[in-house]
Each structure stands twice: as C-alpha cells, then as structure tokens.
Amino acid sequence: MSHKNDTQLHVAMYPWFAMGHITSFLRIGNKLAERGHKISLFLPPKTQLRFKSKNHFPKLITFITITLPPVDGLQLEAETTNDVSAESWPLLVRAMDLTRDTTEAHLIDLKPDFVFYDFLCYWLPGLGRKHGIKSMYYLTALLVRAAYMLDITMDLVSGQPISNDKATNPLPSFPSPFIKMRAHEFHPMFLNVDFGGGMTFIERLGIALRECDVIGVKSCKEMEGAYCDYIQNNYGKPVLTAGPVIPDPQVNKLDEWVDQWLAGFETGEVIYCAFGSQCTLDHPKFQELLLGLEHTGRPFLAALKPPRGYETIESALPEGFTEQTKGRGIVYGGWVQQQLILQHPSIGCFITHCGAGSLSEAMVNKCQLVLIPSTGDQFINARMMSYELKVGVEVDKREEDGFYTREAVQKAIAMAMDEESEVGIKVRVNHTRWREFILKDGVEDSYITSFIQSLQQLLE
C-alpha cells in the first residue's frame, strides 16, 4: 500500500520532562500539525498549562495527561526538571519509568503510526513493536551528539563498562578529531551512577539509540551530513533530518522593563548571558562569570539561577559588584523572554551554555556567540559550533577540572565582539552565512516535506 503525501499521520510524543526538551518536541509537533498531521503529546497536568499558548494547532495537537506516580524522595508536586535539583533527576526518571503501563494503555487507545520518544524512555520502542507502532528517537540535541554517544556506548553491547578513557576517545573513523569530551566533562552521574531503575545515563541512552526504528533530528544535512552518513553507515539506522525547525515567531511583546533598559544602548552593544532553566553553576564559576562581564566594561543582562547553596542572586554576587556595574549591568534570577531578547537590536553578544534550544534561537539572530558549556551534550554542541561550523568562541578552561577565570571570560567576549579581531571577523562571517541559509525561503519547508514523506514511506 502506498501513502500519498496528503495522508494524515498520527504521531504520539513522549519527551523527557525538561522544559527545553518539551519545547523541542512541541516545535516539531507544530510543524507537522501545520501540514495537517495529528499529534498526541504526553505531558504532566500542570506542565500542560505552561505550554498551552505554544500549541498553535489545538485541533490537531492534543495534550495527553501523564501523572507521575509517587517515588520516595521526590516531592509530590514535581513534574519537570525545573521542579527538582539535578541530583534528584534520577528520581524523576524513575517516576517516568513507572508510567510505562499508563503509556501503553494510551498507545493502545490512540493507535498512532509513530511514537517519538526521548533519550530516557528506552522502553518505548518495545511497547511500539508490541502494538505495531514505529518508534523514532527524536533528538533534541545536535546529530553529532548521537554519533558520539553511539560510538562510546558500543562496549555496552558486549557488557563492557564505559570508562572515562573510552568515553573521551570515539572510534578512529569518527568524522571529526575535534569533537570530543574531556574526562572532567563526564559527570559521574552519566557513566557510573544509577540514573534510575538501576541503569546509568549512558546505558539508557545507548539502548534508546539502538532500539529505535529510526532516528529523527532537528538539523540540516548541509550542517551535519557527515554525522548523518556515519550513523547510517556504521549502525544501520535511518536518520531523518527535519531541517532547522525555526522557532515560531513570537506574538508577545518584550516585557517593558527589559525593552526600556535595552533601548538605552547602541546597536550591538549589550552582552546577554543565559544558561537555561536546568543549569545551576557552582558559586566560584558564577562569580568568575560575573566578574568577567564586569571587566569588559560593556553593558550586560545576565539571566542566571542562584548558584548551588544560595537562595537568591543578590546573596551570591561578588563584593561590590552591584556598585561597580550600576547602570550598565543587570543580573536577573527569573524567567526571561530569550527569543525576543536575542532579536533586540542592542544585543551584540550571547553567552550561552550551549543547550540545543538556545543555539537554535541564536543561529537565526545576529549576535556573536560565546560558548560556556556546562554539562553532557553541551560540550559536544560547543565543539561543533566552534570547530566545525566556526560560529562561536568557546571560553578557555583548565584542562584538569574545567574551571574558567574572569580573564578567560573577558578574553572570549573581546575576541567575539571586537570588530577588528581576526577570530571575531571569522565567526561573524560564518554565522551570517548559516543564518541566511537557515532563513532562506523554502529551506525549512523542503526539509519538513521530505521528513513527512520519509515517515509515510516507513509505513508502507
């Protein structure tokens, strides 16, 4: 039986319950629904309310309620990583594992063609096969991360543990010698600590990658074609690229206090620094970052969570910092409208933790990129941006522990923003080239059309 291009697909989606991951799944859901396809997105009840306004096709995108069962040590009202510390993520993972029977009941009732799942729900492909549903591991990170992780998890197939040495050395045939993680960049939680259900993070990830029918990714072959070919050739996994999946235009206006403050500066003058909803810095790194911003002499807006061990931003600031930066610096601990801030003409530089969502938003704007990855795939993303695409400057860190100084932060910002800097010129030219490609008429539409056709062909 042949599926025509206009055959409606029904896709169930179960993301990792983190705001950036849910956002990424809903973005591809909106792109599919825009073309008439049906989406069933599994979300906890309170979290559904937070994403209601981002569902642009409520007649086609339905939020399916998944209530997390109680787990010892996990606060009862917790639904996402926003609600718990990073140390409690394994408890959240365990709670998601316990939704397996409920999820199966929903899948039986919904009868979707596909289930898109995230890296922790390694058990979803098995449920899919049981009920005749194709499974897609939908990557919220760059494709290079999947290639790297597949490489370092291959030993798990034969029951060999993953050591730091193996983790930092992908196979010789890996497409880039520059894309690698240093030993200190692997949090113990990833390699050898129970990440829920008696499995490590890396074990879950390896099974999730190997068990799926197909890998999907928000990426373009022009950017990551080598990694697409690498996965397909070495692991026999079809890889479907969905294109840039450009963030939907914001209908909201920038909050008045932010807009008025930014309006007081020249075009491209302000540094914006934000590390996402999950990243909590250690206090020494928090202070070095802010002192680096202070020493630039430039205006800045930093949206950061209080560092570990501190209840408020104010209590964690360096001594005298508020007086030294008065009138030109804001450190804000609440949620900000990042997409709208990045679009503001006064923003000239974006210091980012290299989360995939933040990088997507940055790539379609004109600000220079300074990269300070914090955990996991962010290090891979940073190397991709700095070494492969050459669109950003990564802050230098100590080799043994990853600590960075205020001088290193200041230096990276200067390299990126100085119009006469050789590095700054190079990354500005490359960023402009990729931005123009991503936003070029027809690029995204062509990718989404091809993505849908490939899904339909998998059902034949």
| CB contact at 8 A, 135 and 128 | yes
**Paired strand residues for 12:** 40, 115
| CB contact at 8 A, 335 and 354 | no
DSSP string, 392-440: EEEPP--TTT----HHHHHHHHHHHH-TT-HHHHHHHHHHHHHHHHHHS
What is the spatial distance between Cα 242 and Cα 244, in angstroms, rounded to a whole number?
Answer: 7
Residues in Cβ contact with 35 at an 8 Å cutoff, skipping those fewer than 6 apart? 448, 449, 452
Q: By CB neighbour count within 10 A (0-12 exposed, 13-18 middle, 19+ buried), where does 90 fall?
A: buried
What is the spatial distance between Cα 351 and Cα 329, in angstroms, rounded to a whole number?
Answer: 14
Q: What letter represents residue 307's amino acid?
A: P
- Residue 418, number of CB atoms within 10 A of its CB: 13
> Active-site residues: which are they?
21, 118
Helix (H) or strand (E) holding 371: strand 368-371
| CB contact at 8 A, 295 and 304 | no
User: Crossing angle, helix 19-34 and helix 356-363, to 10 degrees?
Assistant: 50
| CB contact at 8 A, 298 and 268 | no
What is the spatial distance between Cα 423 and Cα 395, in angstroms, rounded to a whole number?
Answer: 13
What is the spatial distance between Cα 162 and Cα 190, in angstroms, rounded to a whole number?
Answer: 10
Q: What letter represents residue 4's amino acid?
A: K
**Would the CA dihedral through 55, 61, 62, 67 be positive or negative?**
negative
Helices (H) and strands (E) in the chain, counts: 20, 13
What is the spatial distance between Cα 89 and Cα 376, in angstroms, rounded to a whole number?
Answer: 14
